[in-house]
Amino acid sequence: MKLIVLNYTIDHPVDIVLGIANICLIIGLMSIYWKSYKHYRTRFSLGLVLFAAFYLSTIYSM
């Protein structure tokens, strides 16, 4: 199935839906990690926040 949006042909709309779900999941995890970091002040939680932010930035650059 092809979908045409703003003169771009999208061959697999399911990929877009899964990508958006993936981004929402990462943002949700980042908020949980940040709350954990603020409460416990552990470096592990801060590392998870930084990793999720890096991963999210690589998704946006694609």
- List, for residues 3-59, the tens digit of each pLDDT value: 565 666 667 777 778 888 888 999 999 999 899 888 888 888 888 888 888 888 877
Is position 7 within any domain?
Answer: no
Domain carrying residue 57:
24-62
In this structure, is residue 8 part of a structural domain?
Answer: no
Task: Decide if 23 contacts 59 (C-beta within 8 A).
Answer: yes
pLDDT digits (tens, 9 = 90+) for 41-57: 888 888 888 888 888 88
Q: What is the DSSP string of 4-24?
A: EETTEEES-HHHHHHHHHHHH
pLDDT of residue 9: 65
Query: Is-contact 21 58, C-beta < 8 A?
Result: no
Report yes or no on 59 lying in a domain.
Answer: yes
- Whether 16 maps to a domain, the answer reads no
Q: Annotate 28-57 with b (16+ C-beta within 10 A) or e (fewer).
A: ebbeebbebbeeeeeeebeebbeebeeebe
pLDDT of 28 reads 92
Domain count for the chain, please give it. 1
Residues pairing with 61 in the sheet: none
9 located within any domain: no
